[in-house]
């Protein structure tokens, strides 16, 4: 019977508690420990120190290192405990530094076991560790894998030398040992891929929700534009009751769009919602100006300020149409009031002389509004002058100053 104190084995492989004595009665175990004591397992303590130092010095390294390596990969038990304490701080969203790390180790009852605050400060003084920390992580992982291979090989050697009668069980046990090492390597290699797949599923679900919201908002935006166009036509035809009903339906659809895109503001500014709000602002003001002779304020319309202004730019075309209708029906004098509104709208739009990236195409609408204003002013002036001439002619005829043609 051979006795090995666990303090010795802990220095060799770092896996055992040093509080008790191990007694090896099995020949296989004796051979295993004899091989382990003859030569220390693969290790690179300097690389381990460098990795821990980089994690203490840079918070970005902490997250990357935790994703690449586990505490079990470190050879020294003290380094395993320091790494575990850093992971503990990371989970608690506590920044890692010398003081917070020492405090966490003390709270875990492990500060003296790792070498005390002096060792933590010694690690943190290695500022060069940040230069090549990623390569040092790979060294730590490689040495851990080599230790696993050595351990498995020694176990297999001990199994073979013990000369068991059941050879099948020896082969099975040997395959199991090698499989465990291989499985560790595969798990380490595909850990990030597994996490990525989990993240990908979450992203797919998010994109699916976003696509459904976009489809709903796009459908409702087209409906808003259709309803507002119908409302404007109803106003020009004098059917104000129908126009008001259509605008109310359009407002309900706009509310539905906002609700659908509450969690997807990036889609809100894709463009089609702006077009719907601009059309709604135009329809509301067409009704208000023609029916009530007043321009609504942005808060009364209930759309974004820039979409309200763009709607006013489009409104000039509808006012021109209304003025021409008045001219055709012999009511050109009434058109002067609406021409004044067109001038007020154009003056307001000219105040917002900013790039299109800010105003979303308002400058082009301002230019079109100015063009329509000038043409409408000319048309209305001619109509008013013609009406005045006709009025004078009728007055002259009535007074007998001008003979009627025979």
- The whole-number pLDDT of residue 400 equals 67
45-163 folds as DNAb Helicase; Chain A (1.10.860)
C-alpha 43/C-alpha 19 separation (Å) is 24
DSSP letters of 60-120?
A: HHHHHHHHH--GGG-SSHHHHHHHHHHHHHHHTT----HHHHHHHHHHTT-TTTTTHHHHH
Query: Dihedral of CA 161/167/169/172: which sign?
Result: positive
CATH, range 202-399:
1.20.58.2140
Q: What is the pLDDT of residue 60?
A: 87
Give the per-residue pLDDT at 285: 95
Helix, strand, coil percentages, rounded to 5, for the chain: 80, 0, 20
CB 327 within 8 A of CB 379: yes
Write the burial class of residue 405 (CB in 10 Å: 0-12 exposed, 13-18 middle, 19+ buried).
exposed
End-to-end CA distance of the chain: give it in Å, rounded.
148
Q: Both tokens of residue 74?
A: 């470190």
In angstroms, what CA-CA distances link 292 with 214, 235, 256, 348, 373? 36, 12, 28, 20, 21
- Output the six-digit token pair for 405: 């043609």
Which residues face 2 on adjacent strands? 24
Cα 102 from Cα 116, distance rounded (Å): 8
Spans of the chain, pLDDT less than 50: 1-24, 189-190
Read off the tokens for 225.
């534009």
Calculate the alpha carbon distances from 345 to 283, 291, 299 in Å. Answer: 15, 17, 17
* Distance of alpha carbon 92 from alpha carbon 104, whole angstroms: 11
What is the spatial distance between Cα 238 and Cα 292, in angstroms, rounded to a whole number? 13
Long-range contacts for 20-26 (Cβ within 8 Å, ≥24 apart)?
Answer: 25/1, 26/162
Q: Where exactly are the structural domains of the chain?
A: 45-163, 202-399
Q: What is the pLDDT of residue 164?
A: 65
- Judge if pTM exceeds 0.85: no
């Amino acid at each position: 019977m051979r006795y090995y104190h666990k303090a010795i084995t802990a220095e060799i492989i770092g896996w055992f508690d040093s509080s008790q004595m191990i007694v090896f009665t099995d020949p296989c175990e004796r051979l295993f420990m004899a091989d382990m004591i003859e030569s220390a397992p693969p290790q690179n303590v300097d690389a381990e120190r460098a990795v821990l130092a980089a994690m203490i010095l840079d918070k970005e390294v902490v997250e990357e290192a935790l994703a690449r390596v586990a505490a079990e990969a470190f050879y020294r038990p003290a380094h395993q405990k320091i790494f575990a304490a850093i992971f503990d701080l990371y989970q608690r969203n506590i920044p890692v530094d010398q003081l917070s790390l020492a405090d966490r180790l003390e709270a875990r009852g492990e500060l003296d076991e790792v070498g005390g605050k002096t060792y933590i400060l010694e690690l943190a003084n290695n500022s060069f560790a940040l230069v090549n920390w990623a390569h040092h992580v790979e060294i730590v992982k490689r040495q851990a894998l080599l230790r696993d291979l050595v351990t498995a090989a020694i176990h297999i050697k001990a199994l073979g030398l013990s000369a068991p009668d059941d050879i099948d069980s020896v082969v099975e046990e040997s395959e199991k040992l090698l499989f465990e090492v291989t499985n560790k390597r595969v798990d380490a290699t595909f850990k990030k891929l597994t996490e990525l797949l989990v993240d990908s599923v979450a992203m797919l679900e998010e994109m699916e929700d976003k696509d459904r919201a976009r489809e709903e908002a796009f459908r409702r935006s087209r409906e808003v534009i259709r309803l507002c166009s119908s409302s404007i036509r109803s106003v020009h035809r004098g059917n104000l009751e129908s126009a008001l009903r259509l605008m109310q339906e359009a407002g309900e659809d706009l509310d539905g769009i906002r609700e659908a895109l509450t969690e997807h503001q990036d889609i809100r500014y894709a463009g089609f919602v702006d077009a719907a709000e601009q059309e709604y602002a135009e329809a509301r003001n067409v009704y208000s100006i023609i029916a009530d002779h007043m321009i609504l304020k942005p808060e009364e319309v209930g759309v974004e300020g820039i979409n309200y202004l763009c709607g006013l730019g489009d409104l000039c075309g509808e006012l021109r149409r209304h003025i021409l209708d008045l001219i055709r029906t012999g009511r050109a004098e009434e058109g002067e009031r609406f021409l004044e509104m067109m001038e007020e709208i154009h003056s307001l739009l000219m105040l917002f002389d900013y790039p299109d990236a800010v105003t979303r195409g308002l400058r082009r609408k301002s230019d079109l509004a100015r063009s329509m204003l000038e043409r409408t002013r000319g048309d209305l002036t001619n109509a008013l002058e013609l009406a005045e001439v006709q009025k004078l002619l009728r007055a002259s005829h009535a007074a007998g100053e001008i003979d009627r043609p025979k």
